[in-house]
């Protein structure tokens, strides 16, 4: 594949996702990303955020792409920028 073909395919893909986003159906983007994740809802996970460790059950991604975990009935969302490590618990 040459540079021009790669650029064309990338632009087509970006246009598809951008159109989904501007139509206000961004949840489809989050859902598509979640389907490709290593973790599935219900998996136990351990994560490290800014020096603090937490564990819980992976619930999924929120509307902004935040990682949602539940521990002891309490749900928390974590931005990807704050998660330093993530592994199965």
**What is the DSSP code string of 22-78?**
HTT-THHHHHHHHHTSS--TT-EEEEEETTEEEEEEEEEE-TTSPEEEEETTEEEEE
Q: What is the pLDDT of residue 28?
A: 80
Stated pTM of the model: 0.64
* Domain match, 26 and 64 both: no
* Domain match, 24 and 59 both: no
**Residue pLDDT, tens place only, 3-52:** 999 999 999 988 988 888 788 777 788 788 778 887 788 888 888 777 77
What domain range includes position 32? Answer: 1-36
* Domain match, 72 and 88 both: yes
Q: For residues 73 and 56, give the distance between their C-alpha atoms in angstroms, rounded to a whole number.
A: 10
Q: What is the number of domains present in the chain?
A: 2
* Domain match, 47 and 7 both: no
* Domain match, 60 and 30 both: no
């Amino acid at each position: 594949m040459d540079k021009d073909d790669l650029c064309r395919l990338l632009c087509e893909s970006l246009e598809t996702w951008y159109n989904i986003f501007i139509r206000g159906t961004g949840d489809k983007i989050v859902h598509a990303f979640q389907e490709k994740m290593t973790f599935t809802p219900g998996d136990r996970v351990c994560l490290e955020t800014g020096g603090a460790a937490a564990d819980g059950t992976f619930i999924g991604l929120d509307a902004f792409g935040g990682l949602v975990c539940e521990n002891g009935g309490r749900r928390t969302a974590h931005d990807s920028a704050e998660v330093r490590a993530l592994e199965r618990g």
